[in-house]
Structure 1
Amino acid sequence: MGSPLSLRDDHDSSELRRLARRSRHAGQSRHLLALAAIYDGASRGEAALLAGTDRQSIRDWVVRFNADGLDGLVDRHGGGQKARLTQEMLSALKTRLEEGPIPAVHGVVRWRLCDLCGWLHETYGVSLSETRLGQIIRREGFRLLTARPRHYRQDTEAQDIFKKSSPVSWRQSGPDIPEKISKSGGLTRRGSARKRS
């Protein structure tokens, strides 16, 4: 078993407890309270029990505290996967979206996600799923806009004639006819029920 690590001597337990109360990071507060207990003479096992962790974690906290001070006790996160599209690729993608395709050259009248994924792979060697590329495009403020389709034999003159010749049918409503409840429980208009003889 190795020799126990000593804590740095520029802090004491009361200062660590005061810093734990003011800390905005819950993990850092827990680490500071465990180290304050060690400053007060508690063993690493007792500090681990107090912090709800194991002795190895306490040792790691001591090493980080001795090396980096209070900043070493803030929980570190990996930050996630590095973005696959650089700013250069992103600006080229925006330019391509704004210019749009040339139907004779590209063979499409609007960019599809599969076309853009293929272009990114051919040009930059970056493979993205269509879903992920769609999220990136929406995040950059682009939306899918498609023109309303037109039939190639559509006759606009006939449509204009139809629109102009259709009469506007406005009529005033008649007087309110009171309703009465039939024997079966449904609503009927007065006079619509036949009299039985």
Structure 2
Amino acid sequence: MRTGTGSFWFLCHYRAAAVVVACLIAAGIAHAQELPDRIRGYKVHKQIVTVRETAGPTDASSPMVASRIDPEQVALKEISLTGVSFEMPIELSALPHSGRVDFITFSEMTVNDIPVAVDEFRTEFRFRKGEKVLLPSPVTIFFPAHRLVQAAWREMRDSQPKWRVRGRVFVFGRFKRFGIHHKRVVPVDIDINIDNPVIRARK
């Protein structure tokens, strides 16, 4: 009887401890996802920008606003034994400030919930206030080999006319405001649907 009582006591306390640990882990994850004050020496712009499929209204409080991605321009680039890649041109629209983009990095990018690799965009370019800017070269999204089978199986089993692209992009640059160039990194969240480039390539 004592053994049963002791086991019940241990189980109750173990469950309580497990709940506490789970809460601490969840809090730790939530805290880890918060943006730091600086990344690679650039001050982080606290307001996160959202990429839409069409241009949005100008927001003067942000150094960059919604970008435009034309689904018709997304193209299959290469199919090889190491993976599949496609190119996605991006247009920055309704820019309220002038400045220069030094480079762009990509984090936690997925296509149809499958993680993909996106190289840093290292082509520097300048932009002027009120003008649209097409990136000098398209962004290349690559399905690595260890994800290729999963992606190919989904495509063969249940090919969808639209692909969902999600992730976070960090735009590093210098943005002019009140006559002063501010060194900033702007976080940009992406959540869009694009035409399936594989279907378009077959036509």
Q: Taking structure 1 as the reference length, what is the TM-score of the superposition?
A: 0.21
The structure that is strand-richer by fraction is 2
Higher relative contact order (CA 8 A, sep 6+): 2
The higher radius of gyration belongs to 1
